[in-house]
């Protein structure tokens, strides 16, 4: 049988204790007669069976800065949470919370709020009052609307609202100019607001996979620090032109769309290391891709590629691409065209390996010869010095 919070806490030094970890104790409740711990700064109650937090308890723990209530059975948070004026971190992952009380917006020192894996139907309208907030995670809920006040979170660096029911990305998010990580994957978003993202130049990672996007606004080009962009499982029928302007991109995922062609302008993505175009309707890739010398991973699985990817033969001087293409297509269901292509690609691959081995051997021999010549020079100098010594 689970223990009570008051039973556990009586064993602690209530006056001096700063951190209390009662995780994994099978606690059933935080009972109203729990003793005060007015100096307690950190409280960890993860992985218990707590279903509610009485308001009277909060009043005895006003100094709390870190509260971890993850993986319990909470359906709501008490309104008295507003009394935790020093609260910095609140973790409620894995509960059954349907709404956050408006009073939580009075915790203006809060820097990290994590409420992933709940039943949250929305964010508080006044969430913009949390001006110190840096990380907002509400992944895997049923949020439909992002409140306008989101734009007041000027210190926000991470936002994760993936796997919700969001139809529209509120353009007020433009006020979050310090954002670096954005995850809105697995929602119902059909359009990306140009005026909403034009000020987000510091974004490094943007995940919009699993939505209903058909195109991207030109303003995306203003995200000059963007290195990872995930757009898989959307509704793209053509390669959005703005993508070719994102020269800082290292990872681009456009798998599971309806792309038919890849433009030659993709070669402008000179920093790209990983490109996934799997599960589309692509028949060819442009020979211009041969200049993408940083490309290490190229996924072309589940595409028709009816012309046997003749363009890949342009990659003679790029072993990484050859290797990547070979490894990907080797695991595809081989049609006659694939078999012929793979046989030729294997020859290119092996020839390149031979060339590289010969080059390495020549460089090794040259290095050894240079080292021998230098050693001979030193020996001659040493002999000369010895003769001078004998003359003296």
Beta strand segments in 292-357, E? 297-299
pLDDT in tens, 196-206: 999 999 999 99
Query: At what angle are helices 319-330 and 336-391 packed, to 10 degrees?
Result: 150
**Max CA-CA distance within the chain?**
103
Instruction: Let me know the angle formed at the C-alpha of 195 by 191 and 200, rounded to the nearest 5 degrees.
Output: 100
Identify the CA nearest to 271 among candidates 291, 253, 256, 254: 291
Two tokens, residue 227? 């290195």
Rg of the chain taking only CA atoms, in angstroms: 30
Q: Specify the CATH superfamily of domain 1-97.
A: Ribonuclease Inhibitor (3.80.10.10)
CB 120, CB 138: distance < 8 Å: yes
- Read off the pTM: 0.82
pLDDT at 16: 74
What are 252's strand-pairing partners?
A: 229, 275
What are 274's strand-pairing partners?
A: 251, 297
Rounded Cα gap, residues 128 and 150, in angstroms: 5
Examine the pLDDT at 320 and tell me if it is beyond 50.
yes
Examine the pLDDT at 86 and tell me if it is beyond 70.
yes
Stated as kind and residue range, the H or E segment containing 82 is none
* 294 vs 143: which has the higher pLDDT: 143
- Cα-based distances in Å from 265 to 191, 217, 227, 239, 349: 24, 17, 18, 10, 26
pLDDT in tens, 333-384: 444 555 555 666 666 667 767 777 777 788 788 877 776 666 666 555 555 5
Q: Where are the domains of the chain?
A: 1-97
| Distance separating the N- and C-terminal Cα atoms of the chain | 99
Quickly list H helices, 192-309: 194-197
* 314 vs 351: which has the higher pLDDT: 351
Examine the pLDDT at 127 and tell me if it is beyond 90.
yes
Beta strand segments in the chain, E? 19-21, 42-44, 66-68, 89-91, 112-114, 135-137, 158-160, 181-183, 205-207, 228-230, 251-253, 274-276, 297-299
Least confident of 158-162, 265-269, 290-294: 290-294
pLDDT at 230: 99
Share of the chain above pLDDT 70, in %: 78
């Amino acid at each position: 049988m689970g223990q009570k919070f008051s039973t556990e806490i009586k064993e602690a030094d209530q006056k001096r204790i700063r951190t209390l970890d009662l995780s994994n104790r099978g606690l059933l409740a935080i009972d109203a007669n729990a003793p005060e711990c007015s100096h307690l700064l950190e409280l960890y109650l993860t992985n218990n069976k707590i279903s509610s937090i009485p308001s009277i308890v909060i009043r005895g723990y006003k100094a709390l800065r870190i509260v971890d209530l993850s993986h319990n059975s909470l359906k709501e948070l008490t309104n008295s949470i507003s009394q935790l004026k020093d609260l910095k971190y609140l973790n409620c992952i894995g509960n059954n919370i349907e709404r956050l009380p408006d009073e939580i917006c009075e915790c203006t020192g809060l820097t990290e709020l994590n409420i992933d894996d709940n039943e949250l139907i929305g964010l508080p309208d006044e969430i913009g009052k949390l001006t110190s907030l840096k990380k907002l995670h509400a992944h895997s809920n049923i949020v439909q609307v992002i409140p306008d006040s989101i734009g007041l979170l000027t210190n926000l660096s991470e936002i994760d609202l993936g796997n919700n029911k969001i139809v529209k990305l509120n353009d007020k998010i433009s006020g979050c100019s310090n954002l670096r990580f954005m995850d809105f994957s697995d929602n119902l978003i059909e359009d990306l607001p140009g005026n909403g993202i034009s000020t987000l130049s510091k974004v490094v990672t943007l995940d919009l996979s699993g939505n209903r996007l058909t195109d991207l606004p030109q303003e995306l080009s203003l995200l000059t620090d963007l290195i990872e962009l995930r757009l898989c499982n959307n509704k793209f029928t053509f390669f959005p032109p703005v993508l070719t302007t994102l020269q800082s991109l290292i990872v681009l995922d456009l798998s599971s769309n309806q792309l038919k062609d890849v433009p030659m302008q993709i070669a402008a993505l000179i920093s790209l290391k990983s490109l996934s175009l799997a599960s589309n309707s692509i028949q060819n890739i442009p020979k211009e891709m041969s200049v993408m010398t940083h490309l290490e991973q190229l996924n072309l699985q589940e595409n028709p590629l009816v012309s046997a990817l003749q363009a890949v033969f342009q990659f003679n001087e790029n072993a990484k691409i050859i290797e990547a293409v070979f490894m990907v297509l080797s695991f595809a269901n081989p049609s006659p065209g694939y078999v012929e292509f793979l046989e030729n690609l294997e020859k290119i691959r092996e020839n390149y390996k031979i060339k590289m081995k010969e080059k390495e051997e020549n460089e090794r021999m040259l290095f050894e010869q240079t080292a021998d010549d230098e050693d001979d020079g030193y020996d001659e100098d040493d002999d000369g010095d010895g003769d001078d010594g004998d003359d003296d």
